[in-house]
């Protein structure tokens, strides 16, 4: 085997992962603050409104998550191959595409909202508040999607400290504005939405400054020849990758939306309890994603450099550290879960229901760690077709499980179906995993 292009050890992976983990921690913290400032108004329907509003924007923004994931993979591979111009071109394509999609969402906001609310079975009070939330937050759509491309560029270059800075600007400003608008100005769900819009604007401005300095410092130019930017072969690759990731992501969002919708049909109290517990799941997911995103960067770099030894080490160390982290998260939820629920809401009925279903959250990190890590590995290697197929099969497993278990066990059956979904994602990706090994040359 040839000598490795890059050295890699456990501490190098941690060096890349820890800023991602810290930046990701601020994201579920923001969700917790959103829920907490509304949860202490004493109206369970407002918690449900934030939950349903978040689901709608999950469909809109996560559905276009390829703007981040595809950019990370393509930039990381270009970095590994030392193709600076291609790295910039991948970012420019994603940034322009994200801005365009965002403006289309603005134009189509009315039918999007009507369709979304028709698909979600919340009470009249929940849907009314969710509508007010949406009508304000949607104005950040072009900014939010362009921001995904910036994140992809920074991750692709392994500039995780800059990503941490950018995410802290976004989420900390959002948290501060949440408190100002909701606690002090008593603006309710409108205040939560407005805080998000202003924070997105601040983050985009900071991101553009970071990108300018990063790209200009590398070789003192931001230019990309027009012929390279619109190269048909590169555009086709981007289209295929983005298509597969979008289908995969929509399946993912549909599963979580289905979960939330079934909770909504059980009443506002169950909906609010599930929304709180899903904040814990998000907390764990973003934590584990620190190592999954590190795997994206490192695996992409290995693919670009055609370095099998580096690829093996990246997969091994990211998986090892991710598993340790999953045990740690499960322990936190076991010992402090009830306390966290009581901090988030003062509604006693919601507290009791959330505590009843807390054991499902405790086991979720260990059940889900494999699928998160494999997601990062497959994205970094741009094996997006396999990711798409695995997610479709996993969604089918989730719905089948729900069909059998939910009628018998109610909300417990719903949570069991979610755990089966996580397991199915890991198993189906593991089935395709051997193909990753053939992505790089293993000749001596």
Torsion of CA 300, 303, 305, 308, to 10 degrees: 120
What percent of the chain has a predicted confidence (pLDDT) above 70? 94
- pLDDT tens column, 267-300: 888 888 998 999 899 889 888 999 999 999 999 9
Residue 204 has pLDDT above 90, yes or no: yes
Average pLDDT of span 71-77: 95
Pick the more confident residue, 27 or 302: 302
Tell me if residue 83 falls in helix, strand or coil.
coil
Q: What Rg value do the Cα atoms of the chain yield, rounded? A: 21
Average pLDDT of span 395-417: 96
Sign of the four-CA dihedral 43, 44, 45, 48: positive
pLDDT at 330: 96
DSSP letter for 26, please. H
Dihedral-angle region of residue 223 (phi above 0 means left; psi in -120 to 50 means alpha; beta otherwise): beta
pLDDT at 222: 77
Tokens of 195: 């805080």
Tokens of 444: 């001596």
pLDDT at 29: 67
Count of other CB atoms within 10 angstroms of residue 336: 11
pLDDT band at 116 (very low <50, low <70, confident <90, very high): confident
Average pLDDT of span 3-16: 73
Residue 72 has pLDDT above 80, yes or no: yes
Instruction: Note whether 387 and 73 are within 8 A (CB).
Output: no
Residues sharing a CB contact under 8 Å with residue 118, sequence separation 6 or more, in sequence order: none
pLDDT at 2: 46
pLDDT band at 117 (very low <50, low <70, confident <90, very high): confident
pLDDT at 62: 77
Residue 160 has pLDDT above 60, yes or no: yes
Pick the more confident residue, 380 or 33: 380
pLDDT at 1: 40
pLDDT band at 3 (very low <50, low <70, confident <90, very high): very low
DSSP letter for 138, please. G
Instruction: Note whether 374 and 429 are within 8 A (CB).
Output: yes
- Chain-centroid distance of CA 299 in Å reads 19
Residue 354 has pLDDT above 60, yes or no: yes
Counting Cα atoms < 13 Å in the Cβ hemisphere of 422 gives 20
Residue 440 has pLDDT above 80, yes or no: no
Residue 4 has pLDDT above 50, yes or no: no
pLDDT band at 10 (very low <50, low <70, confident <90, very high): confident
> How far is Cα 153 from Cα 159, in angstroms, rounded to an integer?
9
Domain locations in the chain as residue ranges = 10-437
Tokens of 296: 């994206």
User: Which residue has tokens 């934030």?
Assistant: 50
pLDDT at 84: 87
Q: Give me the DSSP letters along 209-227.
A: HHHHHHHHHHHS-----HH
Apex CA 68: angle with CA 65 and CA 71, to 5°? 130
- The average confidence (pLDDT) of the chain is 89
**If DSSP states are collapsed to H, E and C, what string results for 327-357?**
HHHHHHHHHHHHHHHHHHCCCHHHHHHHHHC
């Amino acid at each position: 085997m040839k000598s490795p292009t890059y050295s890699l050890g456990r501490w190098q992976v941690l060096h890349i992962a820890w800023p991602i983990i810290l930046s990701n921690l601020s994201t579920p913290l923001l969700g917790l603050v959103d829920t907490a400032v509304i949860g202490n108004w004493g109206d369970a329907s407002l918690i449900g409104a934030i939950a349903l509003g978040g689901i709608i924007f999950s469909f809109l923004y996560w559905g276009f998550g390829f703007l981040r994931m595809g950019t990370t993979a393509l930039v990381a591979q270009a970095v590994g191959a030392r193709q600076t111009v291609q790295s910039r071109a991948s970012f420019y394509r994603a940034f322009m595409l994200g801005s365009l999609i965002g403006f289309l969402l603005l134009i189509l906001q009315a039918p999007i909202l009507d369709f979304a609310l028709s698909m979600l079975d919340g009470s009249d009070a929940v849907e009314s508040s969710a509508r007010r939330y949406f009508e304000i937050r949607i104005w950040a759509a072009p900014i939010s999607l362009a921001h995904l491309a910036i994140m992809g560029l920074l991750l692709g270059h392994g500039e995780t400290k800059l990503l941490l800075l950018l995410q802290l600007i976004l989420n900390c400003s959002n948290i501060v504005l949440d408190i100002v608008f909701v606690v002090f100005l008593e603006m309710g769900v409108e205040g939560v939405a407005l805080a998000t819009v202003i924070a997105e604007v601040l983050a985009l401005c900071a991101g553009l400054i970071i990108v300018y300095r990063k790209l200009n410092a590398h070789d003192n130019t931001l230019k990309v020849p027009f012929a390279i930017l619109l190269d048909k072969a590169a555009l086709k690759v981007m289209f295929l990758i983005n298509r597969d990731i979008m289908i995969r992501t929509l399946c993912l969002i549909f599963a979580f939306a289905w979960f939330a919708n079934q909770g909504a049909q059980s009443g506002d109290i169950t909906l609010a309890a599930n929304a709180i517990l899903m904040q814990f799941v998000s907390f764990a997911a973003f934590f584990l994603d620190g190592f999954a995103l590190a795997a994206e960067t490192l695996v992409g770099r290995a693919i670009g450099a055609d370095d099998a030894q580096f690829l093996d080490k990246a997969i091994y160390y990211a998986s090892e550290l991710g598993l340790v982290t999953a045990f740690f998260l499960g322990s936190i939820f076991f010992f402090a879960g009830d306390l966290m629920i009581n901090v988030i809401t003062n509604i006693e009925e919601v507290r009791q229901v959330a505590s009843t279903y807390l054991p499902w959250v405790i086991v979720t990190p260990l059940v889900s760690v494999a699928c998160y890590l494999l997601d990062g590995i497959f994205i970094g290697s741009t094996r997006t077709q396999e990711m798409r197929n695995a997610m479709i099969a996993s969604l089918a497993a989730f719905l089948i499980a729900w069909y059998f278990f939910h009628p018998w066990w109610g909300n417990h059956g719903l949570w069991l179906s979610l755990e089966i979904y996580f397991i199915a994602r890991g198993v189906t990706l593991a089935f395709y995993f051997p193909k990753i090994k053939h992505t790089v040359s293993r000749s001596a």
